[in-house]
Every structure is written in C-alpha cells, then in structure tokens.
Amino acid sequence: MIKNTVNLPELLLPAGDMEKLKAALAFGADAVYAGVPKYSLRTREIGFRQETLKEAVDYTHKLGKKIYLVMNIYAHNLKVNGFLKELDRIAEINPDGLIMSDPGLISQALKRYPHIAVHLSTQANTTNWTTVKFWRDLGVKRIILSRELHLDEIADMHRHVPDIELEAFVHGAICIAYSGRCLISNYLNHRDANQGTCTNSCRWEYKLAYDKGSILDVEKEQIPFEKTISIPDGFSLTEPKRHDEKMPVFEDEHGTYLMNSRDLCAVELLPDLVKAGVVSFKVEGRTKSAYYAAMTARSYRRAINDIADGKPFNPENLRDLMALSSRTYTTGFYTRNPRHFGENFGDGYSAGHTHRVTGILKSYDEKTGMGEFEIKNRMNIGMELELITPDNKMNFTLQTMKNLHGVDVHEAHGGAGNMYILMPCYPGDHAFLRQKII
Ligand code: SF4
C-alpha cells in the first residue's frame, strides 16, 4: 500500500512517544515530529526524554524517514541560556529539522547550526507573502502555515515566494485563539500556552451564570423551564448592537462550551492544497493515542496515494477518520471563514463516534496463531471485532482469548494488561483491534 513517495507531498505525523512514533511510521507517515522536553509547546507530553529522542531519531532514520524536533516556545530571558545549551545537545543527535517560533532563538540556531533546517512553527502565525519572504531571506527552510489561511492565500504566497517549502495542517485540534497565541489558560490556570503548558481552558465547561449560580437554575426558580427556551435549539447569546445575530448556547448537565473549536479535517482538500503549493501535510496530536496516529496516518497515506494515481477521493478514508475520537470536524479556514460551522457547542471532550479501539498488537506467535494485545477497552468472547493493519482491514468474531499464563478468559477490560487473542490471519508487526459501536 505504501508507495514510493518521492515527489508526493510529505505526510507528517505527531510522535508523542516511541509507541506513537512507530505506529505513525508503520501506517504510512513519511516523517514525524516530536517535542524536546521543556522547550516545545507540549511540555505536558512526557513521552520523550533526551536519551529517547536520540533513539527516536535513529529509529526513524533507519526506516529512511525524517524526524523534526519541536522547540517552539517563546522564551523569556530566564530560559534563553538553558534553551541554547539544549540546542547544542539536540544538534548532536542529528534531527532533520527544528520547529521553532521565537525570532531571536531562530537566528541563534541558524548561526550555530546552519546545516540543520529550521521550520517556522505555526505559532509564529505567517499570514502573508512578505512574511514568508522575510523568513526565507533569514535562512528558514520551511514555513508551517498559520491555520487561519484560505487556499487562495496559500497559493498567492507560493506564487510570490516559490523557493521555500510550505507545510499545512490537515487534521487535528484547532485553537479558538490565533494558532495558540492565547492567554486564556494563563489567566485561568496560571499555565501559559506560549510556554507549552496550555490546559485547554477554552474547552472547559463554562456555565451561563449569574452570581446566584447557573442561569438555568435561576430561571427554573422563577418560571417553568419550557418557557425559558426562546428558540427551539436552546439558549442564545446576543449582543446589543447585533440584535439579528443569535449565537446559540447549549447547556447540558455539565455546563456550556462557548469557545470549543471543532477539529480540523481537510482530507477532502488535499488536491487543492497540493495545487496551492503545499509540500507537507501535517497532522496535529502529540498527546493523542498510538491508535489515532496509526489511523490518521493510514487514511491520509491512502488519500495521498490516490492523488498520485489520479483516483477520485475515496470516502472510506473520511469514514475511518470519522471513527476516531474528535470534537466533530470542520475544514477550518481553507475554503471560507468557518464562523457558522467552526465550534462544537455540544461538549468539550473528544468523543469516539463509530468505533472504539480495543487492543494494540504487541507481538505475534506464528506457531499458535495468537497475537499478544494490550487491552484498551472491554473485549469478550463472541464480540465482533475488526483487525486493522497498514494494508488490511478484516472483521472477525473473537473466539479465543487467554491470559499470559495460558488460561482461557471470557472477558477482559481496559487496563487488564496483555492477553493472547487468536488471529483470523497474519497481522504483521503493527495492528489494532477495534469494535464498531454504532
Ligand atoms: S486555551 Fe484553547 S485557545 Fe488557548 S491556547 Fe489553549 S487550546 Fe488554544
């Protein structure tokens, strides 16, 4: 399935730890990106340490693929010396590029290590061609485009400055703020998104509250609940100067979600992005699971291969992405301002929509035909499951499951550790089991 990808756009996947990195590469990524502890905007991601980053670089290079290391904090003075020392250590392990934001630190990196490519992080918010030109003249090799751009704007940037690589996000979470340049988390939780410690405060369960408590509680006390609903779908916010614009607000038993962006999914727009001059498709999600890394890599790999073969878009790729946990999808700003379809007011968490991952393959014994799986969610004998590998999908009924002592098990729950499961076919080195839930 995985073609020779020379001259095709690069498929770039997140690698939050070694397991996710291996899954992403096995299921079709050409390249991965991983955070340098303390200096990337995912400092809560604890998957890599200095030693394991070297292991990650070596593993990726052995497969003939690329790895970029993320050092995209905006450093305060206190962090500069530590950052530069870390830069020296990182240069030794030979990554294919550094993803950075801070102009001063970028100029230091270019001066000290001119042979290491610098990719300008989306956090630097490049939104016009003069900025692209500025960074190209400074020596930056690739611009990771701001997520708030229309396809036409990207094409225009490429027309004006064709001799620089353009990378675009195609999948994953989006901030309600300008590509994460936001202080909501800092104000509410003293954890600054610009220092890599965002707590996703924009997605918290906000209440429409008077000082007495929830607006619902207040209104229920005064008049019957049904009469408080002025529009069929629920409450709306209005602003005095814009009477005609009703911003819908839904409050469930947890609260309401005023600033919760849907997730980006641009799998149907890949040909347009290629035309606009994008050479690297990036998936967001270093803190997401190995299953997410594998399934997004698999779907986008197939979509890119179809473009290369001149085939039309295959809706199965979208269905597979729909099966993943998400805050529901939007195509972001690529074709229009997503004003009326950009937010998920319904809930603040990522929900799995059609499938649930139940196991991750750890090893396979050809003699017995049993695969050892880490159990992620409940499985029981008789359950209909789907085996997913980089090349195949196969439905089967779970008939035999044993614990590591070889004792038959009827049911196993997530967190139960590893179990042996009788496979319907050879699963290869990398595979997942999942269950259809709707
Ligand atoms: S609080 Fe929300 S909008 Fe702000 S940086 Fe974090 S995820 Fe982005």
Atom 6 in ligand 1: which residue has the minimum CA distance?
A: 200
Q: Is the CB of 177 under 6 A from ligand 1?
A: yes
Which band of pLDDT confidence, cut at 50, 70 and 90, is reported for residue 402?
very high
Q: Which pLDDT score, from 0 to 100, does residue 211 have?
A: 44
Mean pLDDT of 49-57: 89
Q: Is the CB of 182 under 6 A from ligand 1?
A: yes
Report the candidate in 235, 238, 241 with the shortest Cα–Cα distance to residue 206. Answer: 235
Q: Which pLDDT score, from 0 to 100, does residue 200 have?
A: 83
pLDDT tens-digit map of 154-200: 999 999 999 999 999 999 988 877 776 777 787 777 888 777 778 88
- Cα 360 to Cα 194, 224, 292, 395: the distances in Å are 34, 51, 12, 16
Q: What's domain 10-180+260-352's superfamily in CATH?
A: Copper homeostasis (CutC) domain (3.20.20.380)
Instruction: For residue 118, give both structure tokens.
Output: 């610098």
Mutate to test the pocket of ligand 1, among 74, 147, 175 (most ligand atoms within 8 A of CB): 175
Instruction: For residue 251, give both structure tokens.
Output: 């409050």
* Residue in this structure with the two tokens 């230091």, named with its chain if needed: 108
pLDDT tens-digit map of 87-122: 999 999 999 999 999 999 999 999 999 999 999 999
9 HSE (CA, 13 A, CB side): 30
Q: Is the CB of 195 under 6 A from ligand 1?
A: no
Coil, helix or strand for 223? coil
Mutate to test the pocket of ligand 1, among 181, 185, 199, 204 (most ligand atoms within 8 A of CB): 185
66-70 vs 31-35, strand pairing mode = parallel
Count of CB atoms situated within 10 Å of the CB of 168: 29
DSSP code for 120: E
Instruction: For residue 413, give both structure tokens.
Output: 């729950």
**Predicted structure pTM score:** 0.85
Centre of ligand 1 to C-alpha 16, Å, is: 19
Q: Which pLDDT score, from 0 to 100, does residue 228 have?
A: 38
Instruction: For residue 213, give both structure tokens.
Output: 């408590």
CATH code, 355-436: 2.40.30.10
pLDDT tens-digit map of 278-298: 999 999 998 899 999 999 999
More confident call, 342 vs 115: 115
Q: Which pLDDT score, from 0 to 100, does residue 225 have?
A: 40
Q: Which residues pair with 395 in a beta bridge?
A: 386
CA dist., res. 290 & res. 302, Å (int): 18
Q: Which pLDDT score, from 0 to 100, does residue 278 have?
A: 98
Q: Which pLDDT score, from 0 to 100, does residue 2 have?
A: 45
More confident call, 226 vs 183: 183
Centre of ligand 1 to C-alpha 265, Å, is: 18
Is residue 359 pLDDT above 90, yes or no?
yes
* Neighbour-count burial of 98, counting CB atoms closer than 10 A to its CB (0-12 exposed, 13-18 middle, 19+ buried): buried
Is residue 215 pLDDT above 80, yes or no?
no
Residue 298: its H or E element: helix 290-308
Mutate to test the pocket of ligand 1, among 190, 197, 200, 343 (most ligand atoms within 8 A of CB): 200
CB 271 within 8 A of CB 1: no
- Cα 189 to Cα 123, 184, 202: the distances in Å are 21, 8, 11
Coil, helix or strand for 109? helix
Instruction: For residue 217, give both structure tokens.
Output: 């509680």
Ordered by start, the domain boundaries in the chain are: 10-180+260-352, 207-256, 355-436
Centre of ligand 1 to C-alpha 173, Å, is: 10
Query: In this prediction, what percent of the chain has a pLDDT beyond 70?
Result: 80
Centre of ligand 1 to C-alpha 58, Å, is: 33
Mutate to test the pocket of ligand 1, among 201, 344, 349 (most ligand atoms within 8 A of CB): 201
Mean pLDDT of 207-215: 47
pLDDT tens-digit map of 237-271: 555 666 666 556 666 656 566 667 788 999 999 99
Mean pLDDT of 346-357: 72
Q: Which pLDDT score, from 0 to 100, does residue 380 have?
A: 96
DSSP code for 249: E
66-70 vs 97-100, strand pairing mode = parallel
Centre of ligand 1 to C-alpha 147, Å, is: 14
Centre of ligand 1 to C-alpha 260, Å, is: 9
CA dist., res. 12 & res. 30, Å (int): 6
CA dist., res. 145 & res. 142, Å (int): 9
- Kindly give, in sequence order, each residue whose CB lies less than 8 Å from that of residue 408, ignoring residues fewer than 6 positions away: 400, 401, 402
Centre of ligand 1 to C-alpha 177, Å, is: 6
Report the candidate in 52, 71, 78, 63 with the shortest Cα–Cα distance to residue 23. Answer: 63
Report the candidate in 373, 345, 365, 380 with the shortest Cα–Cα distance to residue 431. Answer: 373
* Neighbour-count burial of 55, counting CB atoms closer than 10 A to its CB (0-12 exposed, 13-18 middle, 19+ buried): middle
Centre of ligand 1 to C-alpha 254, Å, is: 20
Q: Is the CB of 41 under 6 A from ligand 1?
A: no
Mean pLDDT of 417-434: 96
CA dist., res. 437 & res. 324, Å (int): 12
Q: Which pLDDT score, from 0 to 100, does residue 190 have?
A: 80
Q: ∠95-98-100 over CA atoms, to 5°?
A: 165
More confident call, 433 vs 340: 433
CB 48 within 8 A of CB 82: no
Q: Which pLDDT score, from 0 to 100, does residue 432 have?
A: 96
Looking at every residue in the chain, the average pLDDT score rounds to 86
Is residue 210 pLDDT above 50, yes or no?
no
Q: Which pLDDT score, from 0 to 100, does residue 226 have?
A: 40
Q: Is the CB of 202 under 6 A from ligand 1?
A: yes
CB 343 within 8 A of CB 249: no
Mean pLDDT of 115-143: 96
Q: Which pLDDT score, from 0 to 100, does residue 277 have?
A: 97
Q: Is the CB of 200 under 6 A from ligand 1?
A: yes
Measured from the Cα of 193, ligand 1's closest atom is: 5
**N residues, the chain:** 438
Coil, helix or strand for 422? strand
Least confident of 15-24, 40-49, 238-247, 333-342: 238-247
Centre of ligand 1 to C-alpha 429, Å, is: 37
CA dist., res. 373 & res. 375, Å (int): 6
Atom 8 in ligand 1: which residue has the minimum CA distance?
A: 175
Count of CB atoms situated within 10 Å of the CB of 39: 25
- Cα 379 to Cα 147, 354, 401, 437: the distances in Å are 39, 16, 9, 12
pLDDT tens-digit map of 318-340: 999 988 988 888 888 898 776 55
